[in-house]
């Protein structure tokens, strides 16, 4: 790997520089709030100390960034103090968003301070505080850099499926701490987090606590550079809104999409690249959100007043936007293709159209039939996913075959919309031209306790083979009375589109360097995938280079 120098923003966790202890008298005097008397006559006040601090881009990454955080209880006068070089500090008040978890009854308080009218390509410092911040004398401090204007060179990183380092939570692993450190070592301008953030829905009686452990783990990176997420199936939670996404939507302030579904999908532009973040649960066939198998009901805390969740209940979101997301996607891609300042289109989503994982989920035909034709029509260059906890790179693909799949059980023909590769070997010079086809990357090796590095193969030929989900796998009664099961992928196809698979490690990070090129010349993106060898079974901090992909094309102003 290529670790960089520590960046200009100071120590990884600014709060590591401890403030002197604050006396209770000082705390209440500074808080400016009425102290309540408890049964022993002791004072008690809501704790508005910021935690889980993270950044996201605003509508224009060269001009706007949002600082978001949570606090254990309601904050009083939550605010950011922004410091630009050579300028007076500016005070920005934060907006509160809350929700009450429908399973354990905990109310979660989050705060969002939009920083607007920033200077392009500039470094900023900021601090986050509130009147009832226990550390208000030395508040949490972070920093960030805005995107430059026009075409410029920049780096971003990506993975999905992170979880938390707290091993008492289902699917959490200490590797998620190393994964956050890996982002910091590569110092990207921003990071794409491809869904399945913390698996709170696998811990249904403690969802807000899992989110807090996730937020405090990513803070040492996400408070220093935007982390841009997309929702995964494990962000869909019982008790939290019509689509189970209230926890996710409350915590993240994301660019507006102008539809009835803010926060689920969005786009933003950095330099000559348009990034499009999608919510694939809207189009996939797979039922993979919150699910209670049984036996016996799942019981929300009595304070919620909610009914028990019966065995066999799942939250299935396919089609929830009524096509609104796909219409937004087509309009967004069409506008990008009319803009000769945009050379590259990068899509982020959680679930996979091309994955030959043997023990994971596999491919979803819903993405293939709904969105791949749009990726073809408008020339999407890269699709970055997670969901299967491994690394796989596809050949460039365009179009599909409708007669290449078969039912996994009966062998009968099934239309899997098998993507067609436009190349099946490394090109001369090792440089791909994605004008000919879209390359899909599975980057699901964030930091869960369930890494996967096993891939399907045709038992007769040994050639790569993939599972495909072509119909809903809703819960069905299983062999054990009162216990429900969901079946896996229903179809198989030859994975003629699979170019590279990592069988060594199920953990890694992709690092992308965009070279804008010279006027009327060529532009390129170099992707280097680093994996954590030796991370199983013990966590490992070191990440080594496994795969390099270079894509290049003429600039669109050429
Ligand atoms: Fe996952
Ligand atoms: Fe997933």
The pLDDT, as a whole number, for residue 45 is 78
Q: What is the pTM of this model?
A: 0.93
| Residue position matching structure tokens 């906890």 | 389
Average pLDDT score over residue span 502-516: 98
d(CA 29, CA 301): 36
Q: State yes or no: pLDDT of 424 exceeds 50.
A: yes
How far apart are the CA of 161 and the centre of ligand 1, in A? Answer: 4
How far apart are the CA of 195 and the centre of ligand 2, in A? Answer: 7
How far apart are the CA of 235 and the centre of ligand 2, in A? Answer: 9
Q: Closest-lying ligand to the alpha carbon of 197?
A: 1
Q: Which residues contact 409 (CB under 8 A, 6 or more apart)?
A: 490
The pLDDT, as a whole number, for residue 1 is 33
How far apart are the CA of 234 and the centre of ligand 1, in A? Answer: 7
How far apart are the CA of 387 and the centre of ligand 1, in A? Answer: 4
Q: State yes or no: pLDDT of 42 exceeds 90.
A: no
How far apart are the CA of 171 and the centre of ligand 1, in A? Answer: 9
Confidence of residue 428 (pLDDT cuts 50, 70, 90): confident
Reported as type and span, the H/E element at residue 266 is strand 266-270
8 A C-beta contact, residue 73 and residue 46: yes
d(CA 179, CA 557): 37
8 A C-beta contact, residue 522 and residue 555: yes
8 A C-beta contact, residue 351 and residue 284: yes
Mean pLDDT over each residue of the chain, to the nearest integer: 93
How far apart are the CA of 147 and the centre of ligand 1, in A? Answer: 30
The pLDDT, as a whole number, for residue 43 is 52
How far apart are the CA of 222 and the centre of ligand 2, in A? Answer: 21
Nearest to 514 by CA among 527, 496, 504, 501: 527
How far apart are the CA of 7 and the centre of ligand 1, in A? Answer: 31
Residue 77 burial by CB count (10 A; 0-12/13-18/19+): exposed, middle or buried? middle
Q: Of residues 12 and 63, which shows the higher confidence score?
A: 63
8 A C-beta contact, residue 95 and residue 111: yes
How far apart are the CA of 449 and the centre of ligand 1, in A? Answer: 10
How far apart are the CA of 233 and the centre of ligand 2, in A? Answer: 5
d(CA 20, CA 144): 26
- Render pLDDT for 215-242 as a digit per residue (tens, 0 to 9): 999 999 999 999 999 999 999 999 999 9
Nearest to 523 by CA among 482, 553, 493, 491: 553
8 A C-beta contact, residue 209 and residue 201: no
Alpha helices (H) in 132-279, listed in sequence order: 175-186, 207-222, 246-251
How far apart are the CA of 272 and the centre of ligand 1, in A? Answer: 30
Q: State yes or no: pLDDT of 412 exceeds 80.
A: yes
Q: State yes or no: pLDDT of 53 exceeds 60.
A: yes
Reported as type and span, the H/E element at residue 376 is helix 372-378
How far apart are the CA of 388 and the centre of ligand 2, in A? Answer: 7
* C-alpha dihedral sign at 320, 324, 325, 327: positive
Q: State yes or no: pLDDT of 408 exceeds 60.
A: yes
Report DSSP letters for 313-324, one per residue.
EE---TTTTTTH
Q: State yes or no: pLDDT of 40 exceeds 80.
A: no
Q: State yes or no: pLDDT of 39 exceeds 50.
A: no
Q: Closest-lying ligand to the alpha carbon of 170?
A: 1
8 A C-beta contact, residue 425 and residue 496: no
- Render pLDDT for 370-379 as a digit per residue (tens, 0 to 9): 999 999 999 9
Q: Closest-lying ligand to the alpha carbon of 450?
A: 1
Average pLDDT score over residue span 91-111: 98
How far apart are the CA of 357 and the centre of ligand 1, in A? Answer: 13
Q: State yes or no: pLDDT of 294 exceeds 80.
A: yes
Crossing angle of helices 175-186/207-222, nearest 10°?
30
How far apart are the CA of 340 and the centre of ligand 2, in A? Answer: 35
Element counts in the chain: helices (H) and strands (E): 7, 35
Confidence of residue 15 (pLDDT cuts 50, 70, 90): very low
Q: Of residues 153 and 41, which shows the higher confidence score?
A: 153
* Distances 101 to 245, 246, 263 between C-alpha atoms, Å: 11, 9, 19
Q: Closest-lying ligand to the alpha carbon of 452?
A: 1
How far apart are the CA of 442 and the centre of ligand 2, in A? Answer: 11
d(CA 119, CA 401): 49
The pLDDT, as a whole number, for residue 534 is 86
Q: What dihedral angle (degrees, nearest 10) is formed by the CA atoms of 12, 17, 23, 26?
A: -80
Confidence of residue 537 (pLDDT cuts 50, 70, 90): confident
d(CA 127, CA 53): 10
How far apart are the CA of 67 and the centre of ligand 1, in A? Answer: 26
How far apart are the CA of 506 and the centre of ligand 1, in A? Answer: 12
Question: Percent of the chain scored above 90 by pLDDT?
Answer: 90
Report DSSP letters for 159-173, one per residue.
E-----S-TTSTT--
Confidence of residue 22 (pLDDT cuts 50, 70, 90): very low
Average pLDDT score over residue span 33-45: 47
Average pLDDT score over residue span 539-557: 97
Average pLDDT score over residue span 330-334: 98
Distance of CA 297 to the CA centre of its chain: 31
d(CA 513, CA 192): 14
Nearest to 289 by CA among 199, 163, 355: 199
Instruction: Write the DSSP symbol of residue 25.
Output: H
d(CA 487, CA 408): 11
Strand partners, 523: 553
Q: Closest-lying ligand to the alpha carbon of 162?
A: 1
Locate 420 and state its tokens: 């067609």
Question: Percent of the chain scored above 70 by pLDDT?
Answer: 92
- Render pLDDT for 135-157 as a digit per residue (tens, 0 to 9): 999 999 999 999 999 999 999 99
3-class secondary-structure state, position 379: coil
Confidence of residue 440 (pLDDT cuts 50, 70, 90): very high
The pLDDT, as a whole number, for residue 246 is 98
3-class secondary-structure state, position 370: helix
Alpha carbons within 13 A on the beta-carbon side of 31: 25
8 A C-beta contact, residue 260 and residue 414: no
Q: State yes or no: pLDDT of 83 exceeds 90.
A: yes
Q: State yes or no: pLDDT of 258 exceeds 50.
A: yes
8 A C-beta contact, residue 270 and residue 317: no
Q: State yes or no: pLDDT of 332 exceeds 70.
A: yes
Q: State yes or no: pLDDT of 12 exceeds 60.
A: no
């Amino acid at each position: 790997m290529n670790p960089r120098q520590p960046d200009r923003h100071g120590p990884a966790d600014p709060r590591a520089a401890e403030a002197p202890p604050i006396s209770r008298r000082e705390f209440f005097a500074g808080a400016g709030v009425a102290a309540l008397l408890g049964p022993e006559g002791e004072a008690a006040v809501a704790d508005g100390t910021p935690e889980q601090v993270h950044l996201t881009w605003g509508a224009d990454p060269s001009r706007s960034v949002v600082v978001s955080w949570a606090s254990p209880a309601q904050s009083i006068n939550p605010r950011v103090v922004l410091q630009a070089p050579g300028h007076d500090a500016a005070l920005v008040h934060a907006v509160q968003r809350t929700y009450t978890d429908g399973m354990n009854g905990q109310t979660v308080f989050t705060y969002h301070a939009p920083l607007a009218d920033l200077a392009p390509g500039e470094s900023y410092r900021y601090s986050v505080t509130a009147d009832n911040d226990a550390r208000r004398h030395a508040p949490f401090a972070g920093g960030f850099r805005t995107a430059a204007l026009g075409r410029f060179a920049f780096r971003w990183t990506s993975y999905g499926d992170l979880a938390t380092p707290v091993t008492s939570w289902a699917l959490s692993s200490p590797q998620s701490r190393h994964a956050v450190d890996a982002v910091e070592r590569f110092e990207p301008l921003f990071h794409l987090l491809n869904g399945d953030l913390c698996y709170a829905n696998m811990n249904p009686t403690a969802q807000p606590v899992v989110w807090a452990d996730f937020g405090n783990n990513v803070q040492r990176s996400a408070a220093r550079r935007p982390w841009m997420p997309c929702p995964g199936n494990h962000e869909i939670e019982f008790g939290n809104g019509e689509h189970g996404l209230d926890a996710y939507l409350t915590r993240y302030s994301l660019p507006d999409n102008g539809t009835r579904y803010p926060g689920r999908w969005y786009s933003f532009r950095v330099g000559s690249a348009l990034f499009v973040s999608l919510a694939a649960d809207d189009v996939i066939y797979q039922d993979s959100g919150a699910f209670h198998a049984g036996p016996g009901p799942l019981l929300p805390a009595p304070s919620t007043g909610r009914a028990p969740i019966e065995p066999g209940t799942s939250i299935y979101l396919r089609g929830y936007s009524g096509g609104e997301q796909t219409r937004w996607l087509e309009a967004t891609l069409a506008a990008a293709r009319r803009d000769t300042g945009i050379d590259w289109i990068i899509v982020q989503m959680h679930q996979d159209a091309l994955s030959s994982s043997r023990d994971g989920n596999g491919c979803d035909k819903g993405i293939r039939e709904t969105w791949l034709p749009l990726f073809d029509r408008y020339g999407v260059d890269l699709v970055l996913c997670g969901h299967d906890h491994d690394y796989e790179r596809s050949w460039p693909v365009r179009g599909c075959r409708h007669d290449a799949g078969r039912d996994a059980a009966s062998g009968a023909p099934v239309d899997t919309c098998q993507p067609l590769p436009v190349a099946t070997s490394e090109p001369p010079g090792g440089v791909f031209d994605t004008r000919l086809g879209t390359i899909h990357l599975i980057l699901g090796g964030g930091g869960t306790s369930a890494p996967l590095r096993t891939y399907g193969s045709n038992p007769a030929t040994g050639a790569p083979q993939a599972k495909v989900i072509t119909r809903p796998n809703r819960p069905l009664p299983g062999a054990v009375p009162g216990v429900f099961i969901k079946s896996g992928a229903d179809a198989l196809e030859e994975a003629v589109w699979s170019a590279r698979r990592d069988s060594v490690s199920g953990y890694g990070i992709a690092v992308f360097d965009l070279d804008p090129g010279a006027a009327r010349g060529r532009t390129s993106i170099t992707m280097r995938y680093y994996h954590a060898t030796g991370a199983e079974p013990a966590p490992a901090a070191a990440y080594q280079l496994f795969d390099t992909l270079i894509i290049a094309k003429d600039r669109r102003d050429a």
